[in-house]
Amino acid sequence: MSIVNQLFRKASPQQGIVLYYLVAIIVAFLLLNIPGVHKPGVKVAPIDTLFVAVSGVSVTGLTPVNISETYSTFGYIIILLILNIGGIGVMAIGTLLWVVLGKHIGIRERQLIMLDNNKESMSGTVKLIIDIVRAMLLIEAVGAILLSFYFYRDIHDIKESIIQGIFVSVSATTNGGLDITGESLIPYATDYFVQTIIIFLIILGSIGFPVLLEVKAYITNRIPNFRFTLFTKITTVTYLAILIVGMIGILLIESHGVLKGHSWHESFFYALFQSSTTRSAGLQTIDVSQFSDATNLFMGGLMFIGSSPSSVGGGIRTTTFAILILFLINYKPNAEKSGVKAFNREIHSQDIQRSFAVFAIAIFLTFLGMFIMLLVEGRQFNIIHIYFEIMSAFGTCGLSTGITGDLSGVSKVVLMCLMFIGRVGLISFIIMFSGNREPAKFHFPKERVQIG
């Protein structure tokens, strides 16, 4: 234990975050091996258990095993615990335990909380965490109550209704994507009440905790002359724009495909749900393997963008995508400086640089992952299926064309690495290797280079 403590103390804050998530995965792996977690007679290979542990902590939802056929009711409870740890955040759960146990939260812990939640300062970090935990648990509870009562109409078993209601609510709110029906939400493909509740749960979990807290502050009028931050404005507009574009794109591409012959409201809800679930949720009302390659290519792009920063999701995040688009719109080739403006504000140059760094690293990692999987699985699976699996892992989404269980050990390791990086965040991942370098104290002479 002393060696572990020394390792955490010597690590940089970014390395500390990564180490905490690694510890969470190890704990999740051990919990999934407790006697009674699996159904009688069911045995799971260690690599598959590790895969489920990584998928749970990263709230991805990709799984090589059928959850409903593999895990007992006790196993469901363990998975729910893992999803909440991953969704709310390892540092958030740790902070909550420190508060409950009355432990002093020092500068080091506050710094880790700050980084895990993308805050710029350490002030108010503990209160932020408590507010986040309260908000998440409240959203999950309301969703679980509504769904449990509704499921009872079909199941007529109180215990099963409550278990399914809680599991679906937690899976949707944390964007975990795991399900205990074995069919995701396909049985409720024409049940718009269930779909509407789950879409709201997905949005509340993936739009970003700061957005939820700012909306709460606005509604309660606790802050005089309240003004939404630029982050909230960009995040909300981008999130809704991608949701709408995704829905329209799926409708147009599949109008003569899977959606042909369906009524307008069925097609609308199919497309709306699939667009919302690509934010990083992973639940589905239609088997995505039935979609055309064009649709899966399009949905892969949506998963690559992912959800908002400081949320339960992964991907490059909505703000990164928005800043890249705004940069292209505002770019002037002959101008010495091309500032990026939005909502009567100018975005900091460091955030623009970070956006390009995140985008470049994300492209490299997903390309490398695809290359490795094509080397190993290229003869067995279509390139679109591999691409879809890669984007689903990186975006911590969990949608799959059904090939996860048939992948080799090498491919599963690739997906686990992408899921982990997607949850930890690319900024922490980049800084962990490059380090926080001191600003240069001098500059070399500048010289122009031809571009394009």
pLDDT tens digits, residue range 276-304?
999 888 888 998 989 999 999 999 999 99
Is the model's pLDDT at 428 over the cut of 60?
A: yes
Mean pLDDT of 35-59: 91
Q: If you ran DSSP here, which 8-state letter would residue 225 be given? A: T
pLDDT confidence of residue 339:
74
Mean pLDDT of 255-272: 91
Q: If you ran DSSP here, which 8-state letter would residue 180 be given? A: S
Residue that the structure tokens 């598959």 belong to: 48
pLDDT confidence of residue 210:
83
Which of these ranges, 36-45, 59-68, 118-127, 404-413, has the smallest mean pLDDT? Answer: 118-127
Structure tokens at 268: 């609308």
pLDDT confidence of residue 169:
93
Residue 418 pLDDT grade (very low, low, confident, very high; cuts 50, 70, 90): very high
Is the model's pLDDT at 178 over the cut of 90?
A: no
**In angstroms, how far is CA 370 from the centroid of its own chain?**
20
CB 198 within 8 A of CB 283: yes
Closest CA to 295 of 313, 277, 275: 275
> Whole-angstrom Cα distance, residue 36 to residue 86?
22
Share of the chain above pLDDT 70, in %: 84
Residue 422 pLDDT grade (very low, low, confident, very high; cuts 50, 70, 90): confident
> Whole-angstrom Cα distance, residue 236 to residue 103?
36
> Whole-angstrom Cα distance, residue 296 to residue 288?
8
Mean pLDDT of 391-420: 91
Compute φ and ψ for 345, nearest 5 degrees: -135, 155
Residue that the structure tokens 């899977």 belong to: 258
Report how far apart the first and last C-alpha atoms of the chain are (Å, whole number): 54
More confident of the two residues 427 and 23:
23
CB 297 within 8 A of CB 217: no
CB 250 within 8 A of CB 273: no
pLDDT confidence of residue 214:
84
Is the model's pLDDT at 150 over the cut of 70?
A: yes
293, burial (CB in 10 Å: exposed 0-12, middle 13-18, buried 19+): middle
> Whole-angstrom Cα distance, residue 421 to residue 314?
8
Residue 371 pLDDT grade (very low, low, confident, very high; cuts 50, 70, 90): very high
> Whole-angstrom Cα distance, residue 243 to residue 272?
8
Mean pLDDT of 57-85: 89
> Whole-angstrom Cα distance, residue 74 to residue 40?
12
More confident of the two residues 430 and 324:
324
Compute and round to an integer the Cα radius of gyration of the chain.
22
pLDDT confidence of residue 12:
59
> Whole-angstrom Cα distance, residue 151 to residue 179?
14
CB 234 within 8 A of CB 343: yes
> Whole-angstrom Cα distance, residue 56 to residue 34?
16
pLDDT confidence of residue 183:
82
Residue 21 pLDDT grade (very low, low, confident, very high; cuts 50, 70, 90): confident
Residue 325 pLDDT grade (very low, low, confident, very high; cuts 50, 70, 90): very high
Is the model's pLDDT at 91 over the cut of 60?
A: no
Residue 348 pLDDT grade (very low, low, confident, very high; cuts 50, 70, 90): confident
Is the model's pLDDT at 435 over the cut of 70?
A: no
Closest CA to 267 of 281, 280, 254, 282: 254
pLDDT confidence of residue 60:
87
Residue 145 pLDDT grade (very low, low, confident, very high; cuts 50, 70, 90): very high
Give the list of residues 6+ apart from residue 72 with CB closer than 8 angstroms, or none.
36, 37, 38, 39
pLDDT confidence of residue 304:
95
- Average pLDDT of the chain is 84
Structure tokens at 199: 């879409």
Share of the chain above pLDDT 90, in %: 40
Residues in the chain, how many?
452
Mean pLDDT of 365-386: 92
Mean pLDDT of 151-163: 87
Q: Where are the domains of the chain?
A: 7-304
pLDDT confidence of residue 116:
52
Structure tokens at 400: 């799959």
More confident of the two residues 431 and 354:
354
Amino acid at the residue 437? R
pLDDT confidence of residue 349:
85
Which of these ranges, 24-33, 172-181, 312-321, 331-340, has the smallest mean pLDDT? Answer: 331-340
Question: For 191-240, what is each residue's pLDDT tens digit?
Answer: 899 999 999 999 998 998 888 888 888 887 766 777 888 889 999 999 99
pLDDT confidence of residue 54:
92
Question: For 103-130, what is each residue's pLDDT tens digit?
Answer: 555 555 555 555 555 555 555 566 777 7
